[in-house]
Amino acid sequence: MYSGPVIDGDVHHARNNDAELIEYLSRGWREYVTGRGRAGMVPLTVQDGMPNPHGFMRANTYPEGGGEPGADYPTLRAQLLDASDLRRAILTFGDDSHLAGHHNPYFANELARACNDWSIERWLTRDPRLASSIMVGSQMPEVAAAEVRRHATNPRMVQVMLVDNPLGYGFGHPIFHPIYEAAEETGRPVAIHGGAGGWANPSSTGGGSVNTYFEAHTLWPQAIQTHLVSFIAHGVFEKYPRLRLVLIEGGSAWIPSLLWRFDTEYKGLRREVPWVKRLPSEYFAEHVWVSSQPLEISPKRDQVIELIRSMQLEDKLIYASDYPHWDADEIDYLSTRLPTEWHSRVFFDNACRLYGWKPEELKKRVPVEERVT
Amino acid sequence: MSIDVGPVADFEERRFRIVNAGGHELGVLRWQDRFFAVHNRCPHQKGPLCLGIVSGRLVGSAPGSMEVDDDVPVVACPWHGWEFDLERGRALWEEGYAAKVVPVRVEKGRVLVDVGRSARDPAV
């Protein structure tokens, strides 16, 4: 069992109620949201059209004093931050992560700004182990880029996160490039999180809409595959050679077969994309990182390991719990599924390399209370 | 072994002519007054390589840019589209993977191929 230092690449922090976020909206947007009289508030989150039969949260993550999973710092601290030797947790928001699914692009921009400020003030100030994603309203990429740059000097805002796809094109499409320009310029990886098609209706599946959460969740990697292929085909990594991409919550066992096919297609179809100068798998090896959750369960443990090893993903795989979601992967569980010689890389070293953290600094034990800013 | 495969005038610009040279089926191409010869057999699945599209190498200096480098003639196999430069036979995505090219020259208005030697041989 692994007992060393851990970095968790996917922790969904949430809010207990709308009031928490409303105070971070500008006065005008606050009036827009709350001033509907008897009609009630304008919903802040994209409405969920694909219910999970269990609910989306682990039952034991509901705070004892009431409120939502992931919304109560003491509970999150006890269940996650202090439950193992966890040195960093990257916050990835709850339902607010889907703000790019809003039809109103101006509202999405404001929500992104408010969410980021809320994340900094309500979470990062409480615990130095926490780092946050930067949400952006990708409906308007120039505004999104400005939001990324607004956090350029805050080293704890560690990555730009894309979830819902507002424009219907793969994320490699040039319309999104201002976001990547800002990400590269500020040294932030771009993270694409599961659900990166549309969260509610339609769900993010290729070929057609599906009807159950069972189908949608099985096909979760499809949207991530679309965006990965799009990134490489549109030459994003040629245009932004220092850009790094993180694929979160899509698993990893599918990556070899996709890249094998992608490389083969390149050999025959390079004429269409001559700005792509190398095999897709070479761009992947240089620029792309992958979170571990959910690790696919193969009938024999070694089968999935062999697939991961075939792409040397053990050097790019980042542990992610997905706390407090229902299908989160425990450290103890994952350590029994992965080869022992991978543990320090997957649980700690790979994330240090991606996010530019010095392992020796993170390994210093500093009481949390003394470092709260 | 040098084999005469015909007069220069028989070779149309930018169009492969398939010839039999010493038992080898070759495609011979005239390209801006240069000649290239390659075995008519793709190393991938043995497709008829020289029936494929011939063009200058397509290059893109940035996403969305499409330019032609006429100094580098390329054939794309008609079976799967795999592209090979005709100077050295190399696949465009990997130098170590190649179609088999043979030396070709013009003497006294005749096109000669050396089927016993590879054009990739540095001594050529």
Q: Say if B96 is an interface residue toward chain A (CB within 8 Å).
A: no
A25 near A110, Cβ under 8 Å?
A: yes
Chain B residues in contact with A275 (beta carbon < 8 A): 60-65
Q: How far is CA B59 from the centre of its chain?
A: 19
Q: Are A142 and A178 in contact (CB under 8 A)?
A: yes
pLDDT value, residue A55? 83
pLDDT tier, A53 (very low <50, low <70, confident <90, very high otherwise): confident
Q: Do B63 and A235 make contact, defined as CB atoms within 8 angstroms?
A: yes
User: How far is A139 from A105, CA to CA, in rounded Å?
Assistant: 5
> For the CA atoms of chain A, what is the radius of gyration?
20
Q: pLDDT value at position A364?
A: 83
Concatenating the DSSP letter of every residue in A293-339 gives PSPP--SSHHHHHHHHHHTTGGGTEE----TTBTTPPPHHHHHHHS-
Residue A22 has pLDDT above 70, yes or no: yes
pLDDT at A84: 94
8 Å CB contact of B80 and A238: no
Give the strand pairing for A130-135 and A86-91: parallel
Q: Do B59 and A274 touch (CB under 8 A)?
A: yes
- pLDDT, one tens digit per residue, over A223-256 is 999 999 999 999 999 999 999 999 999 999 999 9
Report whether pLDDT(B121) > 50: no
Q: Do A174 and B62 touch (CB under 8 A)?
A: no
How high is the pLDDT of residue A48? Answer: 64
Report yes or no: B61 at the A interface, CB cutoff 8 Å.
yes
Cβ within 8 Å, pair A267-B81: yes
- Which residues of chain A are within 8 Å of residue B66 when distances are taken between CB atoms? 274
Tell if the CB–CB gap between A267 and B91 is shorter than 8 Å: yes
pLDDT digits (tens, 9 = 90+) for A305-354: 999 999 999 999 999 999 999 989 999 999 999 999 999 999 999 999 99
Q: Return the H-helix or E-strand segment holding B112.
A: strand B110-114
Interstrand relation of A317-318 and B2-7 (parallel, antiparallel or unpaired)? unpaired
3-class DSSP assignment, residue B82? coil
pLDDT in tens, A69-108: 999 999 999 999 999 999 999 999 999 999 999 999 999 9
Measured between alpha carbons, how far is A136 from A156 in angstroms, rounded to an integer?
16
CB contact under 8 A, B63 and A239: yes
Confidence label for B71 from pLDDT (cuts 50, 70 and 90): very high
Tell me how far apart the alpha carbons of residues B11 and A282 are, in angstroms, rounded to a whole number. 40
C-alpha closest to that of B57 among B28, B27, B31: B31
Q: Which of A275, A278, A279, A283 to mutate to test the interface with B (most CBs of B within 10 A)?
A: A275
d(CA A310, CA A308): 5
| CA-based torsion, A180, A183, A184, A185: positive or negative | positive
Residue of chain A nearest B68, judged by CA positions: A274
β-sheet bridge partners, residue A245? A190, A288
By DSSP bridging, strand B24-31 and strand B34-39 are antiparallel
Whether the per-residue pLDDT at A23 is higher than 70: the answer is yes
Residue B25 has pLDDT above 90, yes or no: yes
**Mean model confidence pLDDT for chain A:** 93
Judged on CB neighbours under 10 Å (0-12, 13-18, 19+), A148 is: buried
Distance CA A101, CA A104 (A): 9
Position A76 scores a pLDDT of: 97
Q: Is the CB of B65 inside 8 Å of chain A's CB atoms?
A: yes
Residues A100-128: tens digit of each pLDDT: 999 999 999 999 999 999 999 999 999 99
Determine the average pLDDT of the residues in A292-297: 94
Please give the single-letter amino acid code of residue A361.
Answer: E
User: For residue B67, what is the enclosing H or E element?
Assistant: strand B67-76
Residue A29 has pLDDT above 70, yes or no: yes
Tokens standing for residue A18: 């709308």
Residues of chain A with Cβ-Cβ distance to B93 below 8 Å are: 266-267, 270, 278-279
Q: Which of B82, B84, B85 to mutate to test the interface with A (most CBs of A within 10 A)?
A: B82
Residue B123 confidence class, pLDDT cut points 50, 70, 90? very low
Closest CA to A42 of A94, A108, A120, A141: A108
Q: Does residue A370 surpass a pLDDT of 60? A: no
Q: What single DSSP character describes residue A188?
A: P
3-state class of A233 per DSSP?
A: helix
Would you call B81 and A275 a contact, using CB atoms and an 8 Å cutoff?
A: no
Contact B80 A239 (CB under 8 A): no
Residue of B nearest to A237 (CA): B63
pLDDT at residue B120, as a whole number: 55
Compute, in degrees rounded to 10, the torsion defined by CA atoms A58, A63, A67, A72: -100
Residue A204: pLDDT band with limits 50, 70, 90: low
CA atoms within 13 A on the CB side of A57: 18
Note whether B65 contacts A278, CB cutoff 8 Å. no
Joined tokens for residue A352: 């240090």
Taking the Cβ of residue B49 and every Cβ of chain A, the question of whether any pair is shorter than 8 Å is answered with: no
> Using CA atoms, how far apart are residues A289 and A350, in angstroms rounded to an integer?
9
Paired tokens of A24: 């971070």
Q: A219 — contact with chain B (CB < 8 Å)?
A: no
Residue B45 Cα distances to A106, A328, B42, B81, B82, angstroms: 54, 45, 6, 11, 10
**pLDDT value for A158:** 98
Q: Write out pLDDT tens, residues B60-69.
A: 999 999 999 9
Q: Which residues of A touch B83 (CB under 8 A)?
A: 267, 270-271
Angle at A190 between CA A287 and CA A109, to 5 degrees: 160
Query: Which tens digit of pLDDT belongs to each residue from A143-178?
Result: 999 999 999 999 999 999 999 999 989 999 999 999
Q: Do B93 and A278 touch (CB under 8 A)?
A: yes
Tell me how far apart the alpha carbons of residues A258 and A311 are, in angstroms, rounded to a whole number: 11
